[in-house]
Amino acid sequence: MKINLNSKLFNAPIAIALLALPFIIDALFGHGWVRITDFALLYIMLALGLNIVVGYAGLLDLGYIAFFAVGAYTYALLGSPQFGLHWPMVVTLPLGALIACGFGVLLGAPTLKLRGDYLAIVTLGFGEIIRIFLNNLNAPVNITNGPQGISAIDPLQIGSFSFGNSYEWMGMRVDDVHLHYYLFLAFTLLVIFVSRRLEDSRIGRAWVAIREDEVAASAMGVNTRNIKLLAFAMGATFGGISGGLFAGFQGFVSPESFSLMESIMVLCMVVLGGMGNVGGVVLGGVILVALPELFRNAAGPVQQALLGKVVVDPESLRMLMFGLALILVMLWRPAGLWPSTQRRREFDADDGVLQQEQETVYDASK
């Protein structure tokens, strides 16, 4: 049945829709929204990576954005005038993923014994440490350029083909935002594929077993240390890839982009969409990128039209509505908008005990 879902995800109409999407969005809403779609894909990759750690293995990680930062800075430092290095993307992107993976293990190793709140606090600290490092590594030796960040980062490029240029193709103008869309889509599909395959495997079951009962899992022979490290490493790798793509797309990185708020945003995507379910996480990513943007664009004009002036700053209104939406979803659909079947059953009101009692009564009356 899981294979069904896979094929459902990649069947022909959906494939065509995904390919045409940037041009449809472009035609309907304009260039800016294609750019937002690109960012949505980066966030979806991040959310899918975090989903492995939080959704599958049940390890609450509040510093996840650090891996995104590691990937982004790896790409930026090795492909910008900062050190005068211009390594190609095919090297820096995997390298960034690898270094992020290393940081994942680095974070995982000392926190193996921690769970729940304690783990959350430590990972939160880790995320902040990385950000503060990036902020301060401009003295005595200037590595990261501190708060100014790194600019003029090389565009994403494979061979001589740059995703940062515009091309004319069969009378159609294909811009950088379109090209990045396809590149990011390919990576997102890859990450989805990897997630689904892992989920439905010996490793994935071990992750869920640890989430459900770590003691029982270890007594059944699961090497909980290695399996947890693997979750951290996998999640971090996805984060690193996404970070590298982000740096190349944006052309500029600074520590500001990797604040705690970003970690929380990604976590919200996972929780809101449906922890442990790839489809739900993707949905969560789309919603949490699109809705605030919609709001930002709509809040000003609507106020202007209704009240004749802008009373509340659209930016703060955006965060307000965002918080409200989250609260509502958590009240009405605590398992997320599109939960995994497991989670849905977990939150089901009609509990098994009740069902059992009914069955017993039925049995007895036979």
The answer to whether the beta carbons of residues 124 and 260 sit under 8 Å apart is: yes
- Considering only the stretches 72-80, 84-92, 100-108, 221-229, report the one whose residues sit in contact with another protein under the rule CB under 8 A: 221-229
Among 256, 313, 315, 346, binds another protein (CB under 8 A): 346
**Residue whose CB is less far from another protein, 316 or 360:** 360
Amino acid at residue number 39: F
> Does residue 313 touch another protein according to CB under 8 A?
no
Residue with tokens 């902040």: 128
CB of 60 vs another protein, minimal distance in Å = 17
Among 138, 151, 224, 297, binds another protein (CB under 8 A): 224
Residue with tokens 């509340």: 312
Gap between the Cα atoms of 168 and 243, Å rounded: 29
Listed in sequence order, the residues at least 6 apart from 107 whose beta carbon sits closer than 8 Å to its beta carbon are 63, 66, 123, 126, 232, 236
The answer to whether the beta carbons of residues 205 and 72 sit under 8 Å apart is: no
Q: What is the largest CA-CA distance in the chain?
A: 83
Among 34, 206, 253, 287, binds another protein (CB under 8 A): 206
Residue with tokens 């294979």: 3
> Does residue 342 touch another protein according to CB under 8 A?
yes
> Does residue 6 touch another protein according to CB under 8 A?
no
With 0-12 / 13-18 / 19 or more C-beta atoms within 10 angstroms meaning exposed / middle / buried, residue 8 is exposed
> Does residue 60 touch another protein according to CB under 8 A?
no
**Total of chain residues touching another protein, rule CB under 8 A:** 33
> Does residue 218 touch another protein according to CB under 8 A?
yes
The answer to whether the beta carbons of residues 304 and 298 sit under 8 Å apart is: no
- Considering only the stretches 114-122, 213-221, 249-257, 296-304, report the one whose residues sit in contact with another protein under the rule CB under 8 A: 213-221
| β-pair partners for 253 | 150
CB of 110 vs another protein, minimal distance in Å = 18
- Considering only the stretches 15-23, 125-133, 263-271, 351-359, report the one whose residues sit in contact with another protein under the rule CB under 8 A: 351-359
Sign of the torsion angle spanned by Cα atoms 320, 324, 327, 329: negative
Of the chain, the end-to-end C-alpha distance in Å amounts to 35
> Does residue 140 touch another protein according to CB under 8 A?
no
CB of 351 vs another protein, minimal distance in Å = 8
> Does residue 222 touch another protein according to CB under 8 A?
yes
The answer to whether the beta carbons of residues 104 and 236 sit under 8 Å apart is: yes
Gap between the Cα atoms of 89 and 265, Å rounded: 27
Q: Whose CA is closest to 64, among 265, 203, 247?
A: 265
Element (H, E) at 133: helix 116-136
Sign of the torsion angle spanned by Cα atoms 294, 181, 155, 144: positive
Gap between the Cα atoms of 212 and 57, Å rounded: 8
Among 230, 253, 278, 281, binds another protein (CB under 8 A): 230
**Residue whose CB is less far from another protein, 15 or 220:** 220
**Residue whose CB is less far from another protein, 165 or 226:** 226
- Considering only the stretches 121-129, 219-227, 277-285, 307-315, report the one whose residues sit in contact with another protein under the rule CB under 8 A: 219-227
- Considering only the stretches 35-43, 121-129, 216-224, 294-302, report the one whose residues sit in contact with another protein under the rule CB under 8 A: 216-224
> Does residue 177 touch another protein according to CB under 8 A?
no
> Does residue 112 touch another protein according to CB under 8 A?
no
> Does residue 271 touch another protein according to CB under 8 A?
no
Gap between the Cα atoms of 86 and 99, Å rounded: 18
Among 221, 361, 364, 365, binds another protein (CB under 8 A): 221
**Residue whose CB is less far from another protein, 22 or 276:** 276
> Does residue 209 touch another protein according to CB under 8 A?
yes
Gap between the Cα atoms of 336 and 329, Å rounded: 7
Which residues of this protein are in contact with another protein, per CB under 8 A? Answer: 194, 197-198, 201-206, 208-209, 212-213, 215-224, 230, 234, 342-343, 345-346, 352, 355-356, 360
